[in-house]
Structure 1
Amino acid sequence: MKTILNVIWLVLSGFWLFLGYFLAGVLLCITIIGIPFGIAAFRIAVYALWPFGYTTVERRGAGAPSFIGNILWLVLAGWWLALEHIAVAIALAVTIIGIPFAIANLKMIPVALFPLGREIVPTDQPFATR
């Protein structure tokens, strides 16, 4: 079932969200300071491409550096990525079939706003730490 949902997601919105996160990653990797944020964007891009079967959990031990990094992320890229999720969710919610995918898009907003200090893990292992 996860595969079917992921394929439908890919066609309806996953590819475009992937491109948005990928573009953010490329733009952020232009500077040395932005490289950690670009890597986070690439990680989220893969999650946006194939989200069903995965979830995000808070990473233990992520303290002040993650907090400061999340503030910078919010200013540099997070706000427009969250707007992208909202726009795609509104477009998907127009149809009955798209409503579950719209909800999935809205669930991705917190990781779009504050990705540092979070990990993407399979849903069957939500408490696994790396």
Structure 2
Amino acid sequence: MSFVGNIIWLVFGGLIAFILWSIAGLILCITIIGIPFGIQCFKIATFVLWPFGKEIELGHFGAGGLLLNIIWLIFLGWELALAHLIIGVLLCLTIIGIPFGLQHFKFAQLGLIPFGARIHYSNI
């Protein structure tokens, strides 16, 4: 079932989201200071491309990851998380959009705390 969801996701916005996250990663990697944030954008871009069948596990970061998460949250994260929350809520208003809205809720988590997040395949 996740394969079908991923194909539908890819056709109706997943590829565009992948391209946008990749462009954001490229822009952030232009400066030396932005490289860690750009790398996180590339990781999120690969997750956005094929999200069904994957789960996020948050909280595996040390002091450096905590500092980077705080910087990310102040400058980038809250806007991304808010955008994904709004899109997720709008998609959940329809029965057909619920699975896609749930995926946007996953992206909202990553929008808040990308450093130290682990993405792994679910057992479903």
TM-fit CA distance, 1:27: 1.9
- Judged with a 3 Å threshold, the aligned counterparts in structure 2 of structure 1 residues 75 and 27 are, in CA distance, closer, same or farther, namely farther
- Equivalent residue pairs, number: 123
Q: Which structure carries more helix by proportion?
A: 2
Gapped runs of 5+ residues in structure 1?
Answer: 125-130
- CA pair 75-16 structure 1, distance change in 2 beyond 3 A: farther
Is 1:7 the counterpart of 2:15 in the alignment? no
Which portions of structure 1, spanning 4 or more consecutive aligned residues, are displaced by more than 4 angstroms? none
Mean CA deviation greater in 38-47 or 101-110: 101-110
How many angstroms apart in 2 are the aligned matches of 1:12 and 1:79? 25
2:56 is matched with which residue? 56
**Distance 1:75-1:40 versus aligned 2 partners, 3 A rule:** same
- Give the superposition deviation at 1:43: 0.5
Query: SS at the partner of 1:117?
Result: coil
TM-score computed with the length of structure 1 as normaliser? 0.82
Residue 91 of structure 1: CA displacement?
A: 4.1
- Aligned residue for 1:95, secondary structure, equals coil
Aligned to 2:106: 107
State the Cα RMSD in Å: 1.9
1-structure distance, mates of 2:82, 2:36: 22
Structure 2, gaps ≥5 residues long: none
The normalised TM-score by structure 2 is 0.85
Q: Mean alpha-carbon deviation: is it higher for 14-23 or for 111-120?
A: 14-23
